[in-house]
Every structure is written in structure tokens, then in C-alpha cells.
Amino acid sequence: MSMLLEVSGVSVSFDGFKAINNLSFAIGQAEMRAIIGPNGAGKTTFMDIVTGKTKPDAGRVIWGERNISLLGMSEARIAREGVGRKFQKPTVFEDQTVLENLLMALRSNRSPFAVMFYRATAADLARVDELASEIGLAEALGRKSGELSHGQKQWLEIGMLLAQEPRLLLVDEPAAGMTPAEREHTTAILVEAAKTRAVVVVEHDMEFVRRLDCRVTVLHEGAVLAEGSLDHVTANSQVIDVYLGR
């Protein structure tokens, strides 16, 4: 299987502190992967590098069938290439309705002139309805998203992510602050998404990772410490030392 994203030999340091140290990582076209690691292991910095927010000092980030480099592209350009990101803290546009949030995320031409003349077609609205019922917000389309509860905002953001139709989803702690039932629903959405696209989940919660039932990459001090099934990595003595044994 050809790889969708290949990160190789990437290093980045902030003021002499090596946040990422010769990290290599690859994920296929339709694959779920969980990334775990203690605080400061470089999980968020890794996402920043893939999405173009942080420029690495060394290394390569290769994307897609045509093997293009994501380095040197702007964040917006990378997002249009098909990398979607969900932040740890839910960030939706609170002053706008759920419908406006989803319409803005919906995959379409992003250039200013195209957007200016854009009017939502029936197909677009149908897609938004479908997404809204998937994330349990069908009744809330007309509400300002600032009025939603924390969990609903998390879902709205997941919905916006799906609306973008990315080929790679980077999801940072999707289950934070959710009830057990909400977690289960989130798991189902992510597992479903991983059937057609690549999904990378950063998560602290081992129970949640176990339910995802996927390969796990353990990061430590900016490098990959172990990789494999959850049972495999949790049996690794190094992993136990740095992470689980604490």
C-alpha cells in the first residue's frame, strides 16, 4: 500500500530545546493511527509541522501519490491539499450559526472571488443536513455556535472537519470533556472516517485508544519510541518506563 503521508528525519528546536528529534512517521491512504506519549513528547509540534504552522529545521514531509513536499506550503494551501485538523480546545466560530460554520467548512473553491459569488446549492444544504444529523446537531443548525455546550462544540468541530472532506484527519484529544456516551459516538465517527481516509488521533486516554483498535505510535522526547498494536507497545519495557510506569 502506498503511503499518504511520509515524515522522515524531521527535527525542530525552539531556543535550543529539541521538540522533535529525527522523527519519522508514515501513514497509508485509509488507516487509523493513535499517537500517545507523555506531555512534551512533541505530539502537538508534530501536528504543527504537518499542517504547516511550524517549519522544521531538517527533514522531509512527503504527501500523496505525486510525492509532493508539504514544506514551504502555507497552512491554507496544505489544508486545501486535504489535511484537516481538529484542535484540542474546540475552536468554532462562536458568533456564527452552526449552519454558517458547516457551510464555511464544506469542501468548495476557497478563492475570494469564488466565495463572494457562492450561494449554497440544494446539494450543499443536503450535505450539511446529513453531517448535522451525524453529529447530533440537526436541530441546532440555526443556533449561534457560541450557545452550544462544550461537547456539542467538539462535535461541531468534528463535523466541520468531515465537511472539509480531508484525506488526512489530525485529531487532537477528541474525547476531552465528553461523557461516556459521547465518547462512544465519537469513536464510531472516527472509525467510520478511517475506512475511507487516514486518521491520526492524539489521545491521553488509554481506554479511548483501546476502543479505536488501531496501530499505536508512542512518542517520547520528540522521537518514536515504539510502534505497533496497543498490547504490543504497552508490553514494551521502555514505554512502561517513560509513560505507563509513572
- Site residues for other proteins per CB under 8 A: 51, 53, 74-77, 79-80, 84-85, 87, 89-91, 93-96, 100, 103-105, 110-112, 115-116, 118-120, 144, 146-150, 153, 160, 164, 176-177
Alpha helical stretches, state H, the chain: 43-50, 75-81, 98-105, 112-116, 122-134, 150-163, 180-193, 206-212, 230-235, 237-239
Decide whether 105 or 216 has the Cβ nearer to other proteins.
Answer: 105
Q: How far apart are CA 94 and CA 74, in angstroms?
A: 25
- Amino acid letter at 236? N
Tell the smallest beta-carbon distance from residue 197 to other proteins (Å).
16
Distance of CA 179 to the CA centre of its chain: 20
Could you tell me which residues come within 8 angstroms of residue 239 by beta carbon, excluding any fewer than 6 positions away?
Answer: 218, 225, 226, 233
Decide whether 55 or 89 has the Cβ nearer to other proteins.
Answer: 89
Tell the smallest beta-carbon distance from residue 164 to other proteins (Å).
7
Tell the smallest beta-carbon distance from residue 65 to other proteins (Å).
20
Separation in Å, CA 116 to CA 113, 119, 120, 234: 5, 8, 12, 52
Tell the smallest beta-carbon distance from residue 207 to other proteins (Å).
17
Decide whether 79 or 191 has the Cβ nearer to other proteins.
Answer: 79
Exposed/middle/buried for residue 139 (C-beta within 10 Å: 0-12, 13-18, 19+): exposed
Tell the smallest beta-carbon distance from residue 147 to other proteins (Å).
5
Tell the smallest beta-carbon distance from residue 184 to other proteins (Å).
19
Single out the residue of 86, 225, 64, 94 nearest to residue 158, CA to CA. 86
Decide whether 103 or 200 has the Cβ nearer to other proteins.
Answer: 103
Decide whether 127 or 220 has the Cβ nearer to other proteins.
Answer: 127
Decide whether 84 or 222 has the Cβ nearer to other proteins.
Answer: 84
Q: How far apart are CA 204 and CA 2, in angstroms?
A: 29
